[in-house]
Amino acid sequence: MSSIITRFAGLELKSPVIVGSSSLTASVPKLLEYEKAGAGAVVLKSLFEESIAIEMDAYDTDAHPEAYDYFAAYLGDKVLSDYLDLVREAKKVCSIPVIASIACHTDGKWEEFAKRIEEAGADAIELNIMSLCTARNYTDGSFEKMNADIVAHVSKMVSIPVIAKIGSNHTNPVALCDSLYARGAKAVVLFNRFYPTDIDIDKIEFTTGIPFTSPADLSLPLRWAGLVSSSVPGLSIAVSGGVDSWQSTVKSILSGAAAVEVASSIIRQGASWISKVNEGLKAWQDAKGFASVADYRGKLNASNPENYDNLIRTQFIKHFSEVR
């Protein structure tokens, strides 16, 4: 029988399925359940850069400005301490890689948390860089530089792999990924999912949109995985968004990904979804004569000129030219 072992960010995973960060990955019993179902790794619920600010909202520091620094330091330590406890408890029960996650949008003092997380036992750190660029006086390249600076600073502080989970809102993801790789990133996840904005027209106010991804979301990361894996071959890639089956997992690997990072499908269907994907993946590999994931990873990436033409196609002419 073929093997579904893969390597991602320098880590050996028994399956390409990585359980993505969500509220469920803050539960140690759930982490163990995912491991038993066959997950290759788990990403812990994110430590948010904004956590301290949110905690601070509960305190009236306007009346006592001198208390601000005290509360900020105390609450920051508490938020981090709780997260470090989660890392330690996860490592006690899980034999698969445990990846810590920091959701960030600035380059700043929070980066010092990375060293503490490494010391707590995390196998890798995922930087979920979530930011929108909206400035009218924007300087070309400054948004991408911010992403690269964050990765560079964290990479200097830790020896464990640094993974960058980036948004799709970049002019050239290939160039950005090359820059991240040059600054120490061992892997990238394509792509993170922003808070889904919607509007309630009855109440005339903003509301939360559908939080889960759909199969249609797979197209974008597939395209860029095919392009990035060809241009930056030393960088591991995970596809995130729209992975709903073993078939979409195969597609992701063919495009150049070493793994898939999944939350929505697991939240909807439970840990058994992981087992089904692993079984489907093995059966497909056996049927196609592939002994391992490495045998077909990137088989359809942009290294082949014919594949490149398909990946950079942006027009619908081929399929819709005869539509009336």
Task: Please choose, from the candidates 41, 46, 96, 37, the residue with its C-alpha nearest in 3D space to the C-alpha of residue 269.
Answer: 37
Residues in Cβ contact with 198 at an 8 Å cutoff, skipping those fewer than 6 apart: 206, 207, 208, 209, 210
For 47-78, what is each residue's pLDDT tens digit? Answer: 887 654 455 445 444 544 444 444 445 455 78
More confident residue, 23 or 319: 23
Most confident of 25-29, 100-104, 303-307: 25-29
Q: Quick check: 310 pLDDT over 50? A: yes
Q: Which helix (H) or strand (E) holds 309?
A: helix 305-311
For 169-216, what is each residue's pLDDT tens digit? Answer: 888 999 999 999 999 999 999 998 877 889 999 999 998 888 888 888
For 117-138, what is each residue's pLDDT tens digit? Answer: 999 999 999 999 887 777 888 8
How large is the average pLDDT for residues 22-33?
96
For 94-110, what is each residue's pLDDT tens digit? Answer: 999 999 999 887 777 67
228 phi, psi to nearest 5 deg: -70, -40
Question: What pairs with residue 190 in β-bridges?
Answer: 166, 239
pLDDT for 72: 47
Window from 39-53, 69-83, 290-304 with minimum mean pLDDT: 69-83
Window from 65-69, 207-211, 231-235, 284-288 with minimum mean pLDDT: 65-69
Q: Quick check: 315 pLDDT over 70? A: no
More confident residue, 319 or 315: 315
**Residue 289 pLDDT grade (very low, low, confident, very high; cuts 50, 70, 90):** very high
Residues in Cβ contact with 46 at an 8 Å cutoff, skipping those fewer than 6 apart: 21, 101, 102, 103, 128
Identify whether the C-beta of residue 190 lies closer than 8 Å to the C-beta of residue 224.
yes
Mean model confidence pLDDT for the chain: 89
More confident residue, 73 or 281: 281
Q: Quick check: 277 pLDDT over 70? A: yes
pLDDT for 61: 47
More confident residue, 213 or 307: 307
pLDDT for 104: 84
What is the DSSP code (8-state) at residue 196? -
CA 35/CA 12 separation, integer angstroms: 14
More confident residue, 74 or 8: 8
Dihedral class, residue 292 (left if φ above 0, else alpha if ψ from -120 to 50, else beta) = beta
Question: What pairs with residue 7 in β-bridges?
Answer: 12
* pTM for this model (two decimals): 0.89
For 133-165, what is each residue's pLDDT tens digit? Answer: 778 888 888 889 999 999 999 999 999 999 999
